Chains A and B, each alone.
Chain A
Amino acid sequence: MSVATGEKPVLSVRSLCKNFGALAVTQSVSLDLYPGARLGLIGPNGAGKTTLVNLLTGMLAPNSGDISLNGESINGIRPEQRVKKGLVRTHQINTLLMEHTMRDNVAIAVAERRGFAWRTLRYGPQWRACLEEAHTYLSGLGVAAAGDRRVSELPYGQQRLLEIAIALSLKPKVLLLDEPGAGIPSTDSHIIDEALEKLPAEIAILLIEHDMDLVFRFARDITVMVQGAVLISGTPAEIAKNPEVRAVYLGRSQQV
């Protein structure tokens, strides 16, 4: 991993373990994310990538191990509070508010971040400020023109971009992108590439992705997981050359 000297990791995972009964889905995983990191996490189906994301976001509790954000342990902190501390994820399958407009989806997140979402009776100017800020995130990703449309009417690619816009509007320090390109037809895959390029440089990003091309274009470091454990970490070039990885992952995907 690229370790900038003297810089502290913004997200640090130490010996994280999770069992479902006798099945060890996460086996002593350790990794560090530094500010500005672009870490790709790959592995065959069932390698425990999504479980790891759920452990990091707090949807699952680990059996042992430690997760710290900005040097502060966040074990036992509820998912929504981890979000407030800057640990934000996107979802592999859309979890958008389909009945709301695109802009409202972002504005609701902005209101939540600003601690403004408890307002019930007096809110006019502040809500308009939330809508304005939501608009800037949408236009940053080039989808502001559809801001007034209900999410259920939007093309799938734009829904994927909306996921990213919502995550950005929460001003994350660490962003976990869970298969941002999932379900997008290959002819449209460039829109995710472009969106990922525009992500603010200082955010530490963990990209979990099936699309090898996307990972190798985007990530500066790659960690390979197999059967719940980290197999190897290295630069994309190292990973691509590694015979073990080719055998266990890349080779396998060629057979399929």
Chain B
Amino acid sequence: MPLTQADFDAVLLTLKLASLTTVLLLLIGTPIAWWLARTGSWLKQPIGAIVALPLVLPPTVIGFYLLVSMGPHGFIGQLTQSLGLGTLTFTFSGLVIGSLFYSLPFVVQPLQNAFEAIGRAPLEAAATLRANPWDAFFTVVLPLAKPGFITAAILGFAHTVGEFGVVLMIGGNIPGKTQVASVQIYNHVETLEYAQAHWLAGGMLAFSFIVLLALYSGRRVRQGW
């Protein structure tokens, strides 16, 4: 196998990035999805559209805006600098933030669908059984939405693993910090190292297939197709 230490580091970094992003996305995405599923506010459509933007935008667009806004003159950059964090471009934290934007709809939408499918009824039942809203959320909504959470986590994770454009734009290709597998594949192709590219790309292909297979199999079991 022609893979180098840099390739393995890139794979490891990718898994670390995807895991951290997925956990954060579940934490951030749950309240957003809950709000979108339950609100009657006129803001529902605009916010829903903003969340869905990464679905239709080329990653390079997100990457470019992140590059500009996380830079020293951008609003995120100004904020992080005033907090003493410096700028986030070319850092692992920057990649995490980029991935959060990029994979947000893949987590929010399955959760929103799950919450909408659950409806108000189980919550009302819980309220009449003395459960306060937080209690009801954790003991009724979360278990009932479990398939939605599984779907959201798998899609968020897989999509972050496959992310390329954003990382390319804000990463800086730093080994061990921002050099993830997809960028490493690009490097190999660019430098005509096709054998290594094949190994990495084939690995990602197999990984994506297995993830999707697991997702669809799980769905079949759950829905009894």
Partners in one complex: no
